[in-house]
Structure 1
Amino acid sequence: MFRYGRFCRGNPGLYGKKKASILSIRKDFYYNRRARYYLSDEPSPSQAYLCIVLHGYGQLPEYFIKHFSRLERKDILFVAPEGLHRFYLNGSKGRVGSSWMTKEDRLNDIDDYCNLLEEVAEQLVAANSFDKIVLLGFSQGVATACRWMSRTKKPIDELILWSGAFPPDLSFEEAVQSIGTKPVSMLLGDNDEYAKPERLEEQKSYLAENGIQVQSQLFKGGHTIVPEVLEELVAKIFPKL
C-alpha cells in the first residue's frame, strides 16, 4: 500500500533558479523481526497463575521483571514483554531503554505491539492451563495494557493499572465492553509527578457507573513500583493454593 506525503519545495539554486519539488512516497510493508520477553521462572505445570507485566517508558524488561521475581511466588509465572522501540536514555551512548510507541506512526505501532502481546500470550496459554490470568501495566505500559485489553480475545481475568490512566484516544465504551465484569485495580503514588489523582478519580467514577469493579489505592511514593505495595497486591489477587 502506498501513502503519499507532502510536496517539498527546495531552496533556490544557482542564478535564482528553484530546484524541482520532490515527492516523498511512503510504502508500508511487513517482515519478520525478532522480539523478546523475560520470565520470572521456567514455565511449569505447577504454576497456577499467569501475570503479564508491561514496563514503562525507558525501561527494560530484563530489570522490570525483577520487581516480581523477588516476590518468590513459584505458583505465579510473571512475563515481561519488551516494547519494540529501543533507544539510548542519554544522548548516543550509555544505558538503553525501551518504549511501546511514540507519536510518530503511532497507529501502526499500536497494531504492532498488540500483535506482539497476542503472540506472547498465545505461546504461554497454549503451554499451560492457568487458573487465572492477570494483566498489569506500569506507566506507559498502562495505556498499552488498555489498548490490548480492548482488542484481545485471550481470557484475561483481571486488569491492574499502576501509575497510569486509560489513553485518551481509547473509547471508554470499548473499554467497558472488553472489561465486562472483570475487576480493575488502579494504583497511584501520592507524589507521582506524571499521573494525577484527579484523573484517576474521574476514570474510577466512570468505570464504576458502568458496572466495572474498581479498586483504587493511593500509596505513599512517586512514579514507581513500591515493593511493599506490590507484595500486598499480589497476595490479594493471587491466593496461595
Structure 2
Amino acid sequence: MVLNSFSTTRTARYISLGEAGPQVQHVWFCLHGESQLLPEFAAQLVNLDTPERLLILPEALSRYPVAPTAAEPLATAATWFAPGSLLPDLADLTAYLDALAEQVLAQCPAGVPVTVLGYGQGAAAACRWLAGGRIDYERLILYASVFPPEIDRRSTLVALPGKPVTLITTTTNVYTPEAAGEGLLQDLHDVGLDAQLRYVSEGPLTLAALGAAREASA
C-alpha cells in the first residue's frame, strides 16, 4: 500500500466584518484558534468592527462537524494543522491565504495598512504564512499563541519580516504556560524582532489592547 498526494483546488470559507471598497482605511486578517467556530471568533472581535476597518476571518481548510447546539445546529469547526499532514497543510494554507489577501486587497485603496491577528494555533498559522514574505503587512498580533510541536518555532520566527509583533495574553489562568507569552517573547527578541507583551482581561478584545484605538484617527 502506497500513500500518495494530489493537489487540487477546493472552496474555502471566510467571514468579513465590513465591506471592501474605497472607504477602507485598515484591513485585518484574523486567524482563528484550534476548533474555534468562526461566529464565536467574530464575537470576540466585535470591538474592532468599525466603518473604516475591514476584518477578514478565514476558516482553516480542515473542517469537521461538532456537536450541535441550539445556537449552531449545523456547526463545523476547522483546524490549520491536521495530524500527520503538516507539510502539505503549510503549503496549502500559504497558497490559500495569499490568494485571499490578493483578492481582498485588490478591492481596497492601494497601500492600505494591513494587520494580521493570530489566535491560539492561528498564531502559528499566521507566522508560517507571513514567513513566506508575499504579503506586505504593518504589524502582527499573536493572542494566546500555541505552536504545534511539529513546527520549528525558531526557524519560523527567523523568517518573519522585521515588522512589530504584539503578544497578547489574559490575566486569567485559562491558557497553558506556552500560551502565556513569555517564552515566545524571548524567542522573538532572540531573532531580532521588535516585540512587546500585553495582558488583557477575558472577553472581547479591546481596541486599546490590540493597539487599534489610534486607527480611527489615522
Query: Mapping of 1:86-235 within 5 angstroms?
Result: 86-90=63-67, 95-128=75-108, 129-166=110-147, 168=149, 169-180=151-162, 182-196=163-177, 200-221=181-202, 226-227=203-204, 229-232=205-208, 233-235=210-212
Cα distance change on mapping 1:177 and 1:152 into 2, 3 Å: closer
Q: CA deviation at 1:44?
A: 1.3
Distance in 1 (CA, whole Å) between partners of 2:80 and 2:56 is 16
Distance in 2 (CA, whole Å) between partners of 1:61 and 1:152 is 26
Greater relative contact order (CA < 8 Å, ≥ 6 in sequence): 2
Q: Over the residues paired in the alignment, what is the CA RMSD in angstroms? A: 2.5
Tell me the TM-score normalised to structure 1 length. Answer: 0.77
Higher alpha-carbon Rg: 1
Cα distance change on mapping 1:161 and 1:77 into 2, 3 Å: same
The one of 21, 24, 30 equivalent to 1:47 is 24
SS at match of 1:28: coil
Aligned length: 211
The one of 7, 16, 26 equivalent to 2:3 is 26
SS at match of 1:97: strand
Tell me the TM-score normalised to structure 2 length. Answer: 0.84
Structure 1: segments with no counterpart, 5+ residues: 1-23
Distance in 2 (CA, whole Å) between partners of 1:41 and 1:199 is 31
Cα distance change on mapping 1:70 and 1:186 into 2, 3 Å: closer
> Is the 1:48–1:130 Cα contact (8 Å) retained in structure 2?
no
Cα distance change on mapping 1:73 and 1:206 into 2, 3 Å: same
Structure 2: segments with no counterpart, 5+ residues: none
